[in-house]
Structure 1
């Protein structure tokens, strides 16, 4: 019965993929019928992933995700304990056996083995831990039958909160699911960004960032004040001294044809707040030693209008998953950060199904990345691997999002994300908090005034 179901699914996906490749990524397919949407929570998970496992059982069926762990997380640090402390690697991918696994790796992942001969990738049992709060599943199903892309695909209409297209039919719909995925509603992180030099040396940049959806502000969403706002974002740098006080404020818009992202920065040196239209696309980021662009944060963010998008289809792939070791407060940054890449001893990869999406820079547009290939986890809609190509078509950078499930708050997010420059041998790791006394704070009470330019000025001072 199981094998028949998987064979039928494979045939269906192959036929669908052939049809999709002939369609423009900007076509406004969007909403599906009530009959189609009824598959959510039935043959599909409530978020649109295939509920069944794969043919050989190496990817298990989704059975509800991880909504409670083996141990309660520390209330003082906001770190969930590792729910799988006894798991051991099934095997490791190395340069010696790479040929056996290349079909389940991205070109960027394969390039890491060529760049670093001692690189290895520990592969563990696949655990489909992703889950959302139960109340959001009804929101996602409603979106499936109502949300549409605006003209050109650069925004959404008739959209509510999270995941507009759980049954995507175009590449842009897949990308919008990543952009709008649930990240706790209201969350504050105390974290460290580390630009790592080719020799492994680094100076940590510490910061606090806050992400809040309008629905989670005091008083909830306001029809006028929060019109066209997807979320509010605030970032404050606290170390090193030369950057302390630098702050960034973003009002992320939903329909970016109607209105572009609103952004302001407070520069500690200049002691003033200014609008920052360059906090978008390939604009420079602060405190990263030139290693990432504005739209590299969170793997990929912002308006998708500079690219032509193509849906390649689905595939099975080894991606970072359930990497709870990266949040272990007993580990120091020196133990995690090595020359070339993070210490593989503390990484975890699993076999999962991903959506493969290709973005090619439009004729006449400018961006330092001429092409991006994204691999987006079907269970959480998080971009888990992204390969970046330069203007010559050469593979340049590879990004990985180390997924974890914050099971105490039913929120999939990342323990950290990395961005490797294959040319220079440098890389950036964002999101570590092992040496910080506090990591995540959820359900923070915030008001709309906390995300004003006046508030930004007060924070800087």
Structure 2
């Protein structure tokens, strides 16, 4: 049941009045969430987890809530009692697999960010504007542009431009689990440079870039050495994202013009589309975006138990779904937006629904519907606070494909020497040029 509705489908370009901006230091958090709790199961936000950089060196964060026990367990037998706090995708997953369940723990509003992010969001609130047709954003830097959103597009851009550090480097496995439980694993190295989050950068200096990405395949052996380079643009109507692929067999870097929208994602064996990466990415112009309001639901949160280096992938990946004993769910408020395919446009999904954590603007649930209106996929983003930064980001994402019974998960860094690196990456913007990638491929 939606708590309140704001059904504005069209974008608004009006700047916020000072009285609204002041709320970010009063009844709202610096990111625009409600500071107050719900009086019982959701606590007030009091600043989130403090920054703590160690002494660990692996990047796998100790669980600050390790001693807690589940308050309740939701499964196919009792989900009717909790259906108002579950999404349609959650209900379908529980009904489909009787051995799947949600362990619900006490809720902790652990989201926190550096003061520079809070300052930037306050400035964004006074100057950020949607570009025509919602194709991009102007007048914003560092993090989410619209802490008090007026429509669905503003909520979506808050996710797309949320703060994820300035540079990030890590290795992780992505795995497709087939209908009979067979695994297809791929190990890759990821490097990001977030141009949008550069210190002291001005909106006019962004050069229409959000981030730069390199992704190198390390295993299996027959794919090792292939490289992908992506330049993600801020206004994708003015200039689409640029992407290049290097394959060892061809020994050349070639431009890929179709890495967008519902192009099949080859990393998932085409189980999902390119615009499902990071829950949703890219230009929003194929859909009409409706802000449906806020809701209290059980979401994957503070997922530190599954974010540990000593876990084997066999411990995490069960036959039909992730191992529920390692997962943690909490009751939180989320923003709900719905995307409906515009007349005259073609896409694999006719409707999509997204649920965003109010304390981080991270999409935690994405649900995709086919041309007949049937729910066919659900993606979960299991959030933690990387409190060495600090920031909120998923430690893994999992997409369940209901018609085929397959599922796909990425972000599995558990068997690697270390997790995400934010501070000692040594990455510069120049490392993401085509010439730099050619030099790296030749080594």
TM-score category, normalised to shorter length: over 0.9
1:200-219 matches, within 5 Å, as: 200-214=181-195
| 1:363 pairs with one of 325, 337, 343 | 343
How many angstroms apart in 2 are the aligned matches of 1:28 and 1:277? Answer: 31
Q: How large is the Cα RMSD of the aligned pairs?
A: 2.0
Aligned counterpart, 2:49: 66
CA distance in 1, matches of 2:307, 2:249: 33
TM-score in terms of structure 2 length: 0.95
Aligned length, in residue pairs: 441
Change over 3 Å in CA distance of 1:224–1:158 after alignment to 2 = closer
1:249 aligns with 2:229: yes
User: Are 2:16 and 1:35 aligned?
Assistant: no
Is the aligned partner of 1:79 residue 2:64? no
Evaluate the alpha carbon distance shift between residue 375 and residue 430 of structure 1 in structure 2; reply closer, same or farther with a 3 A threshold. same
Partner of 2:265: 285
Correspondence for 2:9 among 16, 20, 24: 24
Q: Tell me, yes or no, if structure 1 residue 338 matches structure 2 residue 321.
A: no
Alignment partner, residue 366 of structure 2: 386
SS at match of 1:326: coil
For 1:27-426, list aligned pairs within 5 A.
Answer: 27-29=12-14, 31-55=15-39, 57-68=40-51, 72=54, 74-75=56-57, 77-214=58-195, 226-426=206-406
Contact kept? 2:400, 2:408, Cα under 8 Å = yes
Instruction: Give the SS at the match of 2:267.
Output: coil
Compute the displacement of 1:460 (Å). 3.1
Report deviation, 1:251. Answer: 1.2
> Conserved in 2, the CA contact under 8 Å of 1:326 and 1:432?
no
**CA 1:241–1:222 in structure 2 vs 1: closer, same or farther (change >3 Å)?**
farther
Name the CA distance, whole Å, in 1 between partners of 2:295 and 2:267: 35
- Paired residues of 1:72 and 1:81 also in contact (CA < 8 A): no
Cα offsets for 1:240-263 (capped at 9, x unmatched) = 112111221111111222211111
For the residue of structure 2 that corresponds to 1:316, the secondary structure is strand
Q: Are the equivalent residues in 2 in contact too, given 1:161–1:230 (CA < 8 A)?
A: no
Once the two structures are superposed, residues 86-124 of structure 1 have per-residue CA deviations (whole angstroms, 9 ceiling, x without a partner) of 011111101111100111111111100121122101000
C-alpha displacement at 1:216, in angstroms? Answer: 6.5
Query: 1:206–1:189: structure 2 CA closer, same or farther, 3 Å change rule?
Result: same
The unaligned stretches of length 5 or more in structure 2 are none
TM-aligned CA deviation for residue 455 of structure 1? 1.9
Query: Which secondary structure state, in structure 2, belongs to the residue aligned with residue 312 of structure 1?
Result: strand
The two structures have a TM-score, normalised by structure 1, of 0.92
Q: Tell me, which stretches of 5 or more residues in structure 1 are unaligned?
A: 1-9
Residue deviations 1:1-52 (CA, integer Å, cap 9, x gap): xxxxxxxxx99x74xx2xx32x3333334x3111110000211000000000
- Partners of 1:425 and 1:347 lie apart in 2 by 20
3-state SS in 1 of match to 2:336: strand
Summarize deviations over 1:153-180 as a string: whole Å, max 9, x none: 0101111221100000100000000000
Contact 1:317 1:354 in 2 (8 A): yes
